[in-house]
Structure 1
Amino acid sequence: MTDADRPILLRDARLLGVDEPRDVLVAGGRIARISARRMLVVPGVPELALDGRTLAPGLWDGHVHFTQWVVKRERVDLAPADSATAAVAIMRAALPTSDARILVGYGFRDALWPDAPSLAALDEIAPDRPLMLISGDLHCGWLNSAAARLYGLTLPEDGMLRETEWIGALGVHDRGAQPGLASYRAAAADAARRGVVGIVEFENQDNATIWPERVAAGVDSLRVEGSVWPERLEEAIGRGLRTGDRLDDAGLISFGRLKIVVDGSLNTRTAFCWAPYPGLDPADPHSYGVQAVSPEQLVGLLRRAHQNGIAPAVHAIGDQANTAVIDAFEGLGIPGIVEHAQLVAAEDFERFGRLGLVASVQPEHAMDDRDVADRHWHGRTDRAFAFRSLHEAGATVHLGSDAPVAPLDPWLAISAAVSRSRDGRDPWHPEQTLPVDLAVSASARGRYTIAEGEVADLVVLDADPLTATATELREMPVAATMLGGRWTWNDLEGGL
């Protein structure tokens, strides 16, 4: 008998939205019974007293780049850099502390910097050692000449690569710098400690092969839906893979969706918008952002995937990008997920609902980017990160992190969605807040409470999220996490 098969009776649990405590029997990896307190007697079954703690559905992160999240811990932290000069100083200080062949920093956000990056500045501190600085949104990189020589790249004077050229360079680097399995196990265990039972994986790799191998090697704290990118679509079709297919014996890994990226990002000023970015020539098409995939290409990819049972998830951040994606879904008459949906044209909210689209959003990005949006999307922020408008229009809302862009911690997303505030600042566009019950269910695949017969993916909380403040939500104490009837985290009795 496996751990998941062993029954356990959870006594005195408070379910979300239910006044009186309940007892919950878990057996065979599912919720077998829910009864009034002390009304359920199951001889021989071990019991665990929850003592009035909240028992809720386990949480999902709807958008993760897991390898990037794992390796973030090994990279120089550039988040504190408030200028190009500061970023260079951080890298200079890190040079003698690392013996890595290429020194990699992560997390700079240059949209509000008072000075500009330059190739010369990096070459000055490291003329012969490769340096790679990765932006916090993963959409651009700042390299020195030694790194360009290593990867066979030609750099502009500022040393910056953006979008397609940059993503290709990052992919080459990552293939030669994969972390070990112990790092993946640790990151998955950390997610379980925050109540996470599953992730939607958007790393650009052969997820259908790599993730079952990881589970077999002991990375088994999470369920994973693994996406496929366009360059591997035909291979997936040839293998007969369809969205929802189970890919491993443990039932943790499933084949996910086709991930298509049609534009860039706000911080890199490449999100594809109807209005130009401030200070740029409106006659220059690049001033509106980057259209990475043409409407014709998008329709072709969506049609090919749909015909072969592969559902889509399309990255769209700028309002013109979102319009193009909605047009494609509407023209083909198929459902889908829009990843990010950060800036939406006023007339497109209604179409989200009418077409039954899912808006997969990352509320913590609104807290990270509120000042950037105020500058670069000035006059349009009433429809930026517009979670309530999407919900009220009838869109299904999923919450995620886009880790490593924001931490893999659903409580941060829930808090940001509910409060539109962080670090004591006034709420930013508070009319776009979500009610806490909706934010919780949007982080739990639409589940708000638990029911008999469901898979026992559960989280035990030491506080009630329905009455918690924004700060308390961010710091939500997680006492235990259960995945299919087995504990992946349990601090109720001193650990597992």
Structure 2
Amino acid sequence: MPNTNLLLENGLIYTLNPAQPRVTSAAIRGNRFVYLGQGEKARQIFCGEPADIVDLKGATVLPGLTDAHLHFEWYSTGLLAINAEQPSAENVIREVRQRAETLPAGKWITGYGWNHNVWGNGAFPTAAMLDRVAPHHPVALVAKSAHASWVNSTALRLAGITDDTPDPAGGQIVRDASGKATGILLEEAIKLVEKIIPPIAPEDLVKAVKQGMQNANRMGLTGIHDMDQPSVFRAFQQLHKECSLTLRVTKNIPLTFLDSAIAAGLCTGFGDDMLHLGAVKMFADGALGPKTAWMLAGYDSAPQDTGISTTDIEILCDSVLKANANGLAAAIHAIGDRANREILNIYSEAKKSHPGTGLRNRIEHVQLLAPEDTARLAELGVVASMQPIHATSDMYIADEHWGSRINGAYAWKTQLDNGAVLAFGSDCPVETMDPLTGIHAAVTRRRADGTPGPEGWHPEQRLSIEDAVRAYTQGPAFATGMEDRLGTLAPGYLADMTILDRDIFSIDPMDILHTTVLGTIVDGKFVWRSNQL
């Protein structure tokens, strides 16, 4: 559908433009702002031209919110899978039993979200528990952390995994005291089963992604930085071709496809303002929950464990240098302090080897830094791609596993004070992609029920509302080299906006969780509009 003139009036519009911080009206011609200011002058912009005039009735408007780290295919296809994010293993087993009763024998049962850390004794579940309710179906359930998978014996058999199968590089087949595979796969071992699960049909993936985009728009998102496989890139391209893309998409590509991208002459930024190529996504380590994050010293809860280096450091270094030399930025997952240090060392080498590229390398998560490394992201110009909701979700297990080093964990304020660019996201479906939940976590460091107390968890790392909003707007724009046209409301900039029912800058920060998205505008068009607007 072609763009038309759009005039928004009577709003509380936060522009993030220091020359004009707040206005009441915005005029959009096509897909760009032509005026921001007061109502009467805004109306004169379209004198004699047809325009859609919207009375905001005092609603609050922000620059369009972007999720700088999520897995959109995983999220979208997960809408078709079972919900394993349950309060107990028994509840998950009940969900599996119900799905098994509706599927023909031999069909895969997949799901996502289980978290053994909240199930009492913290022990991993087993294949035998699934075998009892689904003996004739292969079952594969991905953990909430995405760094573990719980499978049944049928899935193990189909994948050719026996008690004697060696651990793959960067992964682990968990075994009991007698050496028997338990049904838990960690890190790269997950792929042993993942690769034999039949893929979703391309046309079904397009439908699932379309539903996922609608959900994202209702949450106020106007853009995403996707970390999934090329299959979803094809789905995004199909929707873009059909003029049905309702999110701006920065598509990052897995390390596996680095050589193919170089051979094809692809560079970071290729595409247009709706869909373009981002960075090459790599992994340095695992996650906090299963204790696979790579550490400089053992976990407080398990001093003998230092986590897993999921990709050989020499491979990561060579890959970053190759990517940067060929016009491709890098985005590397790093959770533990050892992983983050190693990646910072690599980026330091890349900056020396390839100065002046203009590429914006990133670290994804930056969950724990040693004191000596806290200022290095800013010094090296590395984008801190972080997820505020991880802090409130992980705080108790972080205290348990990292207590002696906790001052360096989820330290957004420290990064900001040092001059690093924050680009906030959700890691959805690991957490909800609702950006207001992320903003709430960033400014309160509290859960919805108020825990751990009025000051929040390590309150010295709380952000102001403005800084949190910038991390969902200007930060992602900078990370993709689009800060000259996105992330700020100003004449000539792309017209992306998120419209809220209350002023999150003035309310009790806990009430941010009760804020409703009234409308979402992408490229000058409403992609979500409630009946209250």
TM-score after normalising by structure 1: 0.91
In structure 2, relative to structure 1, the CA distance for the partners of 1:201 and 1:168 (3 Å cut) is farther
Identify the residue that residue 56 of structure 2 maps to in structure 1: 50
Identify the residue that residue 36 of structure 1 maps to in structure 2: 38
Compare 47-56 and 192-201 and name the one that shifted more.
Answer: 47-56
Identify the residue that residue 171 of structure 2 maps to in structure 1: none
Identify the residue that residue 433 of structure 2 maps to in structure 1: 408
Provide the rounded CA distance (Å) in 1 between the counterparts of 2:95 and 2:393.
Answer: 21
Provide the rounded CA distance (Å) in 1 between the counterparts of 2:113 and 2:244.
Answer: 26
Does the 8 Å contact 2:222/2:522 carry over to 1?
Answer: yes
In structure 2, relative to structure 1, the CA distance for the partners of 1:401 and 1:488 (3 Å cut) is same
The alpha carbon displacement at 1:25 in A equals 1.1
Provide the rounded CA distance (Å) in 1 between the counterparts of 2:198 and 2:71.
Answer: 12
Matched residue SS, 2:422: strand
Aligned positions of 1:255-274 closer than 5 A = 255-274=277-296
Q: 1:175 aligns with which of 190, 199, 214?
A: 199
- Answering whether residue 155 of structure 2 is matched by residue 147 of structure 1, we say yes
Q: Can you give the 5+ residue segments of structure 2 that lack an aligned partner in the other structure?
A: 164-174, 176-180, 355-359, 476-485
Partner amino acid, structure 2, of 1:71: T
Compare 262-271 and 445-454 and name the one that shifted more.
Answer: 445-454
Does the 8 Å contact 1:206/1:228 carry over to 2?
Answer: no
CA RMSD of aligned residues (A): 2.3
Does the 8 Å contact 2:223/2:249 carry over to 1?
Answer: yes
Provide the rounded CA distance (Å) in 1 between the counterparts of 2:402 and 2:127.
Answer: 28
Does the 8 Å contact 2:140/2:149 carry over to 1?
Answer: yes
In structure 2, relative to structure 1, the CA distance for the partners of 1:153 and 1:470 (3 Å cut) is farther
Matched residue SS, 1:125: coil
Q: Which runs of 4+ in 1 moved over 6 A?
A: 17-20
Aligned positions of 1:167-206 closer than 5 A = 167-173=191-197, 175-176=199-200, 179-206=204-231
Does the 8 Å contact 1:12/1:37 carry over to 2?
Answer: yes
Does the 8 Å contact 1:92/1:125 carry over to 2?
Answer: yes
Identify the residue that residue 11 of structure 1 maps to in structure 2: 9
Does the 8 Å contact 1:480/1:492 carry over to 2?
Answer: no
Identify the residue that residue 465 of structure 2 maps to in structure 1: 436
Partner amino acid, structure 2, of 1:33: Y
- Answering whether residue 443 of structure 2 is matched by residue 418 of structure 1, we say yes
In structure 2, relative to structure 1, the CA distance for the partners of 1:172 and 1:129 (3 Å cut) is closer
Q: Can you give the 5+ residue segments of structure 1 that lack an aligned partner in the other structure?
A: none
- Number of residue pairs aligned between Structure 1 and Structure 2: 484
Does the 8 Å contact 1:56/1:448 carry over to 2?
Answer: no
State, as a whole percentage, how many aligned pairs show the same letter: 30
Does the 8 Å contact 1:3/1:485 carry over to 2?
Answer: no
- Answering whether residue 311 of structure 2 is matched by residue 293 of structure 1, we say yes
Identify the residue that residue 241 of structure 2 maps to in structure 1: 216
Identify the residue that residue 524 of structure 2 maps to in structure 1: 485
Identify the residue that residue 82 of structure 2 maps to in structure 1: 76
Does the 8 Å contact 2:368/2:410 carry over to 1?
Answer: yes
Provide the rounded CA distance (Å) in 1 between the counterparts of 2:474 and 2:195.
Answer: 30
The alpha carbon displacement at 1:57 in A equals 0.7
In structure 2, relative to structure 1, the CA distance for the partners of 1:194 and 1:121 (3 Å cut) is closer
Provide the rounded CA distance (Å) in 2 between the counterparts of 1:311 and 1:323.
Answer: 18
Identify the residue that residue 310 of structure 1 maps to in structure 2: 328
The alpha carbon displacement at 1:204 in A equals 2.5
- Answering whether residue 353 of structure 2 is matched by residue 323 of structure 1, we say no
The alpha carbon displacement at 1:150 in A equals 2.9
Compare 50-59 and 35-44 and name the one that shifted more.
Answer: 35-44
- Answering whether residue 496 of structure 2 is matched by residue 457 of structure 1, we say yes
The alpha carbon displacement at 1:171 in A equals 4.4
Provide the rounded CA distance (Å) in 1 between the counterparts of 2:463 and 2:291.
Answer: 27
Q: 1:125 aligns with which of 124, 133, 151?
A: 133
Provide the rounded CA distance (Å) in 2 between the counterparts of 1:177 and 1:152.
Answer: 25
In structure 2, relative to structure 1, the CA distance for the partners of 1:99 and 1:388 (3 Å cut) is farther
Aligned positions of 1:244-283 closer than 5 A = 244-246=269-271, 251-278=273-300, 280=302, 282=304
Partner amino acid, structure 1, of 2:97: R
Provide the rounded CA distance (Å) in 1 between the counterparts of 2:76 and 2:231.
Answer: 17
In structure 2, relative to structure 1, the CA distance for the partners of 1:492 and 1:77 (3 Å cut) is closer
Does the 8 Å contact 2:77/2:205 carry over to 1?
Answer: no
In structure 2, relative to structure 1, the CA distance for the partners of 1:444 and 1:76 (3 Å cut) is same
Matched residue SS, 1:158: strand
Partner amino acid, structure 1, of 2:513: R
Partner amino acid, structure 1, of 2:414: S
Provide the rounded CA distance (Å) in 2 between the counterparts of 1:252 and 1:168.
Answer: 35
Identify the residue that residue 103 of structure 1 maps to in structure 2: 109
Q: 2:506 aligns with which of 461, 464, 467?
A: 467
Provide the rounded CA distance (Å) in 1 between the counterparts of 2:408 and 2:94.
Answer: 37
Matched residue SS, 2:189: helix
Provide the rounded CA distance (Å) in 2 between the counterparts of 1:360 and 1:330.
Answer: 18
Does the 8 Å contact 1:12/1:21 carry over to 2?
Answer: no
Provide the rounded CA distance (Å) in 1 between the counterparts of 2:201 and 2:301.
Answer: 38
Matched residue SS, 1:320: helix
Matched residue SS, 1:370: helix
TM-score after normalising by structure 2: 0.85
Q: 2:260 aligns with which of 235, 247, 252?
A: 235
Identify the residue that residue 480 of structure 2 maps to in structure 1: none
In structure 2, relative to structure 1, the CA distance for the partners of 1:474 and 1:168 (3 Å cut) is farther
Provide the rounded CA distance (Å) in 2 between the counterparts of 1:29 and 1:218.
Answer: 14
Matched residue SS, 1:141: strand
In structure 2, relative to structure 1, the CA distance for the partners of 1:177 and 1:126 (3 Å cut) is farther
Provide the rounded CA distance (Å) in 1 between the counterparts of 2:137 and 2:22.
Answer: 63
Matched residue SS, 1:313: strand
Does the 8 Å contact 1:192/1:222 carry over to 2?
Answer: yes
Partner amino acid, structure 1, of 2:158: L
The alpha carbon displacement at 1:168 in A equals 4.8
In structure 2, relative to structure 1, the CA distance for the partners of 1:8 and 1:236 (3 Å cut) is same
Identify the residue that residue 26 of structure 1 maps to in structure 2: 28
Compare 266-275 and 150-159 and name the one that shifted more.
Answer: 150-159
Provide the rounded CA distance (Å) in 1 between the counterparts of 2:22 and 2:237.
Answer: 41
In structure 2, relative to structure 1, the CA distance for the partners of 1:97 and 1:421 (3 Å cut) is farther
The alpha carbon displacement at 1:52 in A equals 2.3
The alpha carbon displacement at 1:187 in A equals 1.2
Q: Deviations over 1:350-387 (max 9, x none)?
A: 11121121111111111111111111112222211111
In structure 2, relative to structure 1, the CA distance for the partners of 1:209 and 1:190 (3 Å cut) is closer
Provide the rounded CA distance (Å) in 2 between the counterparts of 1:148 and 1:292.
Answer: 22
The alpha carbon displacement at 1:176 in A equals 4.6
The alpha carbon displacement at 1:210 in A equals 4.0
Identify the residue that residue 136 of structure 1 maps to in structure 2: 144
